[in-house]
């Protein structure tokens, strides 16, 4: 089987890196392409994933639309050259080249499996110009969808790489970050010094138009509050504000999830990192105008009580919640969240295991998954 993966965001490297190694380990050919996204390219190198470079990525939404045609043709040529018959990922280009391939009567067709965890209402352009051209849209259970091509599964994207089957925290990140900790008689990490991870988003994607997150005033106020209770580490998509430079995160990218695992709390305006913290059992606080509009985060908040979302106009409620959590103390907070995480994991699956099955068994897997019962999902625990 020859498979094409197109990376358009650093999170997609994490989403598909285990799938890549699973499939290549089974003898399948997997071709990876990537636009000029330095952090994504660095991650691909870190995880030993070779890729074909596609060139610069535009931030301007008009330029994005114009260059999309060029990317479609370039990626279609690569897929033809590499004889790929199936495309997997979250890139809208994969859906487009699949549709283009079906217009030819003399060449092999490409089937596109889109991985989409956002609600249609949040990403209307992707839903309108991506979903109709895909063969299948894989989404977390109950995500609102218009397309009948959707197939649901009980997991989140973050469980492709942070499920216990795929992730073991690396305690060396605590040494890298200068965090004090102890070990018990069995060698387990205990009594970790309180610290906090913060993430500030750039909101440059097509679906981010008009979206806002933490204001500079609230960033400043939150840093001051958290600094009274432990060390603060900040990570951003783009250049960090000068006043926050002393807090800038400087651990290797492949250790960020371990840092998040041991953290007392995560605070930011990033969707992905909020969910990552939640599935790792770290309390997370998110503030942006997406709050209340994304199903999987709403489920993590209201069903599993692992995260809390606040719109910018409700920042006072956010600070009140943070103070409530801090009052619990680090040990009690982490113990309670470990229990809540256990409930989530008991109801969710290893997404990489499912995705590997789905692609290897495609197209028979479409019918099998649509009619899946509880026993079917147990094989992916």
CA proximity to 285, closest of 263, 307, 303: 307
Whether residue 207 is predicted with pLDDT greater than 50 in this model: the reply is no
Mean pLDDT of 289-294: 90
pLDDT attached to residue 191 = 94
Domains and CATH numbers, the chain: 2-155+350-378 (3.40.50.2000), 172-347 (3.40.50.2000)
Q: How confident is the model at residue 249 (pLDDT cuts 50, 70, 90)?
A: confident
pLDDT tens column, 145-154: 999 999 999 9
CA distance 282 to 273: 11
Q: Do the Cβ atoms of 250 and 268 come closer than 8 Å?
A: no
Q: How confident is the model at residue 205 (pLDDT cuts 50, 70, 90)?
A: very low
Assign residue 163 a region (left: φ > 0; alpha: ψ between -120 and 50; beta: otherwise).
Answer: beta
Local structure of residue 304 (DSSP, 8 states): S
Mean pLDDT of 74-95: 95
Q: Do the Cβ atoms of 350 and 380 come closer than 8 Å?
A: yes
pLDDT attached to residue 88 = 98
Cα atoms in the Cβ-side hemisphere of radius 13 Å centred on 199: 23
How many other C-beta atoms can be found within 10 angstroms of the C-beta atom of residue 271? 22
Q: What is the pTM of this model?
A: 0.93
CA distance 377 to 374: 5
Local structure of residue 360 (DSSP, 8 states): H
What's the token pair of residue 203?
């909101």
Say which residue the tokens 């999902």 belong to.
377
Mean pLDDT of 178-198: 95
pLDDT attached to residue 67 = 79
Assign residue 212 a region (left: φ > 0; alpha: ψ between -120 and 50; beta: otherwise).
Answer: beta
- Of how many residues is the chain composed? 381
Greater confidence (380 vs 251) lies with 380
How many other C-beta atoms can be found within 10 angstroms of the C-beta atom of residue 198? 26
CA distance 119 to 42: 29
What's the token pair of residue 152?
């649901």
CA proximity to 1, closest of 75, 87, 92, 64: 87
pLDDT attached to residue 203 = 45
Cβ burial of 74 (10 Å; 0-12, 13-18, 19+) is middle
Whether residue 204 is predicted with pLDDT greater than 90 in this model: the reply is no
pLDDT attached to residue 253 = 86
Phi, psi of 258 (to 5 degrees): -70, -40
How much helix, strand and coil, in percent to the nearest 5, is found in the chain? 50, 15, 35
Say which residue the tokens 């990922």 belong to.
89
pLDDT tens column, 322-361: 999 999 999 999 999 999 999 999 999 999 999 999 999 9
pLDDT attached to residue 214 = 87
Greater confidence (240 vs 298) lies with 298
């Amino acid at each position: 089987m020859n498979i094409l993966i197109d990376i358009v965001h650093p999170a997609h490297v994490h989403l598909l890196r285990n799938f890549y190694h699973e499939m290549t380990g089974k003898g399948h050919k997997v071709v990876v392409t990537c636009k000029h996204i330095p952090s994504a390219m660095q991650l691909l190198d870190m995880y030993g994933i070779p890729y074909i470079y596609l060139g610069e990525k535009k931030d301007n939404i008009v330029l994005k639309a114009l260059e999309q045609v060029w990317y479609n043709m370039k990626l279609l040529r690569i897929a033809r050259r590499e004889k790929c018959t199936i495309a997997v990922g979250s890139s809208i280009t994969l859906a487009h080249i699949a549709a283009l391939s079906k217009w030819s009567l003399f060449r092999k067709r490409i089937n596109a499996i889109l991985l989409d965890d956002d609600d249609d209402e949040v990403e209307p352009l992707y839903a309108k110009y991506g979903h109709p051209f895909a063969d299948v849209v894989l989404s977390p259970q109950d995500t609102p969808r218009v397309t009948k091509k959707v197939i649901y599964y009980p997991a989140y994207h973050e469980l492709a790489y942070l499920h216990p089957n795929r992730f073991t925290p690396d305690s060396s990140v605590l040494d890298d970050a200068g965090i004090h900790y102890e070990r018990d008689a069995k060698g387990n990490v205990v009594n970790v010094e309180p610290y906090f991870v913060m993430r500030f988003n750039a909101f440059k994607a097509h679906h981010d138009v008009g979206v806002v997150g933490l204001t500079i005033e609230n960033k400043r106020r939150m840093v001051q509050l958290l600094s009274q209770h432990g060390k603060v580490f900040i990570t951003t998509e783009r250049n960090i504000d000068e006043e926050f430079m002393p807090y800038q995160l400087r651990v290797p990218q492949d250790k960020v999830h371990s840092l998040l695992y041991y953290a007392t709390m995560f605070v930011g305006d990033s969707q992905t990192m909020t969910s990552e913290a939640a599935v790792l059992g770290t309390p997370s606080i998110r503030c942006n105008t997406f709050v209340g509009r994304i199903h999987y985060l709403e489920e993590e908040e209201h069903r599993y009580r692992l995260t809390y979302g606040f719109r910018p106009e409700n920042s006072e409620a956010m600070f009140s919640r943070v103070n409530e959590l801090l009052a619990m103390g680090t040990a009690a907070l982490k113990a309670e969240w470990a229990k809540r995480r256990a409930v989530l994991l008991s109801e969710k699956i290893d997404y990489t295991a499912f995705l590997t099955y789905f692609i290897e068994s495609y197209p028979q897997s479409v019918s099998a998954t649509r009619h899946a019962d509880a026993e079917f999902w147990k094989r992916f625990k």
